[in-house]
Amino acid sequence: MAAEKVKTRAIIWFRRDLRISDHPALLAAIEAADEIVPLFIMDEKIASNSGSNRRAYLSASLQSLDRSLGEKLLVISGEPISVLKDVMSRYGANSVHVSADYTPYGVARDAKVIASGIELTQTGSPYAVAPGRVRKSDETPYRVYTPFYRAWCTHGWRAPAAKPLNIKAAEPLAGDRNFPEWNSEFEISAGEKVALERWQEFHSKNLDSYDENRNFAGIDGTSRLSAHLRWGEIHPRTLLAKLGESKAHDVFRKEIAWREFYADVLHHNPHTTWDYYVPRFKEMRYDEPDSKFNAWCEGKTGYPYVDAAMRQLVQTGWMHNRTRMVVASFLVKDLHLEWQHGARFFSQHLIDFDVASNSHGWQWTAGCGTDASPYYRVFNPIEQGKRFDAEGDYIRKYVPELSHLSAAEIHEPWLYLDGYSNGYVERVVDHAAERIESLARLAEIKADKPQDPRA
Ligand SMILES: Cc1cc2nc3c(=O)[nH]c(=O)nc-3n(C[C@H](O)[C@H](O)[C@H](O)COP(=O)(O)OP(=O)(O)OC[C@H]3O[C@@H](n4cnc5c(N)ncnc54)[C@H](O)[C@@H]3O)c2cc1C
| Pick from 39, 178, 145, 46: nearest CA to 96 | 39
pLDDT of 371 higher than 90: no
pTM for the predicted model, two decimal places: 0.96
- Pocket around ligand 1: residues whose beta carbon is below 6 Å from it? 214, 222-226, 229-230, 255-256, 258-259, 262, 320-321, 324-325, 328, 346, 350, 352-354, 357-358, 361-362, 365
- If asked whether residues 315 and 305 sit together in one domain, one would say yes
SS3 label, residue 77: strand
Instruction: Please indicate, yes or no, if residue 186 is contained in any of the structural domains.
Output: no
pLDDT of 340 higher than 60: yes
What is the domain-level CATH number for residue 134? 1.25.40.80
364 vs 45: which has the higher pLDDT: 364
193 Cα: distance to centroid of ligand 1 (angstroms)? 21
- If asked whether residues 116 and 84 sit together in one domain, one would say yes
338 Cα: distance to centroid of ligand 1 (angstroms)? 21
**pLDDT band, very low/low/confident/very high, at 373 (cuts 50, 70, 90):** low
171 Cα: distance to centroid of ligand 1 (angstroms)? 39
Instruction: Please indicate, yes or no, if residue 450 is contained in any of the structural domains.
Output: no
Q: Whose CA is nearest to atom 33 of ligand 1?
A: 256
Q: What is the pLDDT of residue 183?
A: 85
**Contact (CB, 8 A) for 236 and 260:** yes
Cα–Cα distance for residue pair 163/67, rounded to 1 Å = 15
Instruction: Please indicate, yes or no, if residue 166 is contained in any of the structural domains.
Output: no
Q: Whose CA is nearest to atom 38 of ligand 1?
A: 255
- If asked whether residues 133 and 118 sit together in one domain, one would say no
17 Cα: distance to centroid of ligand 1 (angstroms)? 18
Last residue of a domain, one of 125, 150, 178: 125
- If asked whether residues 111 and 135 sit together in one domain, one would say no
What is the domain-level CATH number for residue 111? 3.40.50.620
Q: What is the pLDDT of residue 96?
A: 98
**What is the best residue among 321, 353, 370 to mutate for testing ligand 1's pocket, by most ligand atoms within 8 Å of CB?**
321
Last residue of a domain, one of 125, 149, 172: 125
Among 261-270, 364-373, 415-424, the least confident range? 364-373
Pairing of strands 93-98, 74-77: unpaired
Cα–Cα distance for residue pair 178/39, rounded to 1 Å = 11
Average pLDDT, the chain: 94
Q: Whose CA is nearest to atom 16 of ligand 1?
A: 321
The DSSP code for 333 is I
180 Cα: distance to centroid of ligand 1 (angstroms)? 27
- Region 368-379 average pLDDT: 79
**What is the best residue among 255, 258, 264, 265 to mutate for testing ligand 1's pocket, by most ligand atoms within 8 Å of CB?**
255
- If asked whether residues 196 and 219 sit together in one domain, one would say yes
The DSSP code for 71 is S
The domain tally of the chain equals 3
pLDDT of 408 higher than 90: yes
357 Cα: distance to centroid of ligand 1 (angstroms)? 7
Percent of the chain with pLDDT over 70: 96
What is the domain-level CATH number for residue 432? 1.10.579.10
**What is the best residue among 57, 259, 338 to mutate for testing ligand 1's pocket, by most ligand atoms within 8 Å of CB?**
259
Structural domain of 51: 9-125
**pLDDT band, very low/low/confident/very high, at 4 (cuts 50, 70, 90):** low
* Ligand 1 atom nearest to 364, measured from its CA: 53
CA-to-CA separations, 275 to 12, 231, 378, in angstroms, rounded: 34, 24, 21
* Ligand 1 atom nearest to 325, measured from its CA: 53
pLDDT in tens, 320-337: 999 999 999 999 999 999
pLDDT of 2 higher than 80: no
Q: Whose CA is nearest to atom 17 of ligand 1?
A: 321
Last residue of a domain, one of 243, 268, 293: 268
For 326, the enclosing helix (H) or strand (E) is: helix 321-329
**pLDDT band, very low/low/confident/very high, at 452 (cuts 50, 70, 90):** very low
**pLDDT band, very low/low/confident/very high, at 448 (cuts 50, 70, 90):** low
388 Cα: distance to centroid of ligand 1 (angstroms)? 17
- If asked whether residues 289 and 242 sit together in one domain, one would say no
Q: Whose CA is nearest to atom 40 of ligand 1?
A: 258
Instruction: Please indicate, yes or no, if residue 304 is contained in any of the structural domains.
Output: yes
- Region 164-182 average pLDDT: 95
355 Cα: distance to centroid of ligand 1 (angstroms)? 11
Cα–Cα distance for residue pair 88/405, rounded to 1 Å = 63
pLDDT in tens, 256-308: 999 999 999 999 999 999 999 999 999 999 999 999 999 999 999 999 999 99
296 Cα: distance to centroid of ligand 1 (angstroms)? 21
pLDDT in tens, 113-170: 999 999 999 999 999 999 999 999 999 999 999 999 999 999 999 999 999 999 999 9
- If asked whether residues 203 and 331 sit together in one domain, one would say no
- What DSSP string runs through 263-288? HHHHHH-GGGGTS-SSGGGGGS--PP
Q: What is the pLDDT of residue 250?
A: 97
